[in-house]
Amino acid sequence: MTDLLRADRYIEASELGLDLYRGVAELPIVSPHGHIDVRLLADPAARLDPPGRLFVTADHYVVRMLYSQGVPLERAGLRTHEGGEAGVDDRAVWQLLADNVHLFALTPTGLWLRETLATVFGIEESLEPGSAEAIYARVEEQLATPAFAPLALLDRFHVECLSTTDTAGSSLEEHRALTDSAPGLRIRPTFRPDGVTALDAAGWRDALSALEAAADREIGDYVTFVEALAERRAAFKALGATATDHAATSADTTRLADREASALFAAALAGTASRADARRFEAHMLNEFARMSSDDGLVMQLHVGSLRDHNAPLAERFGRDIGGDIPVATDWTRGLRPLLDACGNDPGFGVVLFTLDESTYSRELAPLAGHYPAVSLGCPWWFHDSAAGIDRFLDRVTETAGVYNLAGFVDDARVLTALPARHDLWRRRTCGWLARKVEAGFLGEEEAHRLAWELACGLARRAYRLDA
């Protein structure tokens, strides 16, 4: 195991790569996008999940790989809708991971696991079927200590700021509590309204009700809907939010006439909106949210290209987000045109684009970011947030868009203990990549140090307006 943790791991460059990395390794973590539950942070008594749940059940990357090799989801700790609250043996879930750890060779999941055990828990012994029990005990023991309380971990990880993801209907009470009790923490909410714009989703009415409650008004028509959204954005902003987040299968942002948008919303309320209606309304709302961002300055994040719940039979049994989301090709150039026509030249507007279609890096995204003042490029996302994925991203976008049109790194983490490993891999890979550019004569050393710093935290601060 020792040599897997050698100082220059994942860097793949000469000594300069390690030098560059050393210059950024200890910089604070800037985390403007992720999925840490704010309740965990706001409640001083909250503790992380036990090992099996923390490393397996809560991690959709792990669950999907196990399932792909025939492991039933129930064994990974998941419960079907009708499964009730039958107990899960957390040790058995952990043992399942250990028994299948070979599946994760060469995946970022395997790397994060190894790194997290080593650097967060101090366990350098490799996880194997035979070592599972002993490692479980050591992890469990540490998780129970005050040093592993959520806020203590944030301190230990040098987290400068961390944004959570919150629905449009969130009451934000935990964020309010956090702001009151520990204003220096800079934990920020992010406004994610997908639930109320997907008119055909099963949970739409519930999401709308939550929005009504949060906005304290009945939403009976489209105009009120938009007003409520704008109000909630203001409430988010008041609690430190600098960004919104939007997921869509397609990049379409065609604006509808107000009358048409109103009619679609009314149809949804009446339960008569079709699937196609819902897609047109979503596209329209992306355009509308860009307009709102132009107004209030919240940076718009756009995550495009995942066909959710591809595995319909599984989604029916276990619900959403169990690994059955599969990407599709994306037409950013035509899709974004209406939105950029409206706001792309507005200096007050910022939009960060995340793709699951790597063929668009050099074909569409870098040309868009290298032209429009409003556009910056989000880091490799989801399936592409990996060592080779980072290289492909940098190779394909920087020659056209440069470095300063990138939005830096976001970890997208769901589990607090995963933060260091994710930022560390990004820093190692970007430094290795920069060092190779210096070695090949493209870049001076001094500039490489500056760019390493930008990639580690400068760009994210700027793109997400965190300095303000």
Token duo for residue 173: 């009470």
Site for a second copy in 45-84 (CB under 8 A): 64-65, 67-70
Token duo for residue 159: 């987290």
Question: Per residue in 350-368, is it b (16+ CB within 10 Å) or e — as a string?
Answer: bbbbbbbbbebbbebbbbb
Specify the residue, 69 or 218, whose C-beta has the smaller distance to a second copy.
Answer: 69
Token duo for residue 312: 């319909």
The answer to whether residue 324 forms part of the interface with a second copy (CB under 8 A) is: yes
Token duo for residue 186: 């800079």
- Which stretch in 38-46, 227-235, 251-259, 438-446 sits in contact with a second copy by CB under 8 A? 438-446
Site string for a second copy, 238-267 (x = CB under 8 A): ------------------------------
Site for a second copy in 343-372 (CB under 8 A): 344-345, 347, 356-359, 362-364, 366-372
Torsion of CA 234, 354, 462, 7, to 10 degrees: 130
Specify the residue, 299 or 366, whose C-beta has the smaller distance to a second copy.
Answer: 366
By CB under 8 A, name the one of 207, 340, 435, 460 that touches a second copy.
340
- Which stretch in 49-57, 156-164, 189-197, 334-342 sits in contact with a second copy by CB under 8 A? 334-342
Least Å distance between CB 152 and a second copy? 29
Query: By the 8 A CB rule, do 63 and 323 touch?
Result: yes
Token duo for residue 334: 């035509």
Site for a second copy in 85-124 (CB under 8 A): 102-108, 111
Backbone dihedral angles phi then psi of residue 374, each to the nearest 5 degrees: -80, -20
For the beta sheet containing 187-188, the strands, ordered from the edge strand earlier in sequence to the opposite edge, are 29-31, 159-163, 187-188
By CB under 8 A, name the one of 3, 82, 85, 467 that touches a second copy.
3
By CB under 8 A, name the one of 58, 230, 333, 453 that touches a second copy.
333
Number of residues forming the site for a second copy (CB under 8 A): 91
Site for a second copy in 391-430 (CB under 8 A): 392, 395-396, 398-405
Specify the residue, 163 or 360, whose C-beta has the smaller distance to a second copy.
Answer: 360
The answer to whether residue 453 forms part of the interface with a second copy (CB under 8 A) is: no
Least Å distance between CB 161 and a second copy? 24
Token duo for residue 31: 């985390």
Site for a second copy in 281-320 (CB under 8 A): 305, 307, 310-314
Least Å distance between CB 215 and a second copy? 33
- Which stretch in 85-93, 180-188, 280-288, 330-338 sits in contact with a second copy by CB under 8 A? 330-338
Backbone dihedral angles phi then psi of residue 167, each to the nearest 5 degrees: -70, 160
The answer to whether residue 326 forms part of the interface with a second copy (CB under 8 A) is: yes
- Which stretch in 44-52, 141-149, 259-267, 382-390 sits in contact with a second copy by CB under 8 A? 382-390
By CB under 8 A, name the one of 255, 280, 384, 449 that touches a second copy.
384
Site for a second copy in 10-49 (CB under 8 A): 10-12
Least Å distance between CB 77 and a second copy? 17
The answer to whether residue 468 forms part of the interface with a second copy (CB under 8 A) is: no
Least Å distance between CB 119 and a second copy? 14
Specify the residue, 163 or 405, whose C-beta has the smaller distance to a second copy.
Answer: 405
- Which stretch in 21-29, 195-203, 254-262, 322-330 sits in contact with a second copy by CB under 8 A? 322-330
Single-letter amino acid code for the residue at 186: R
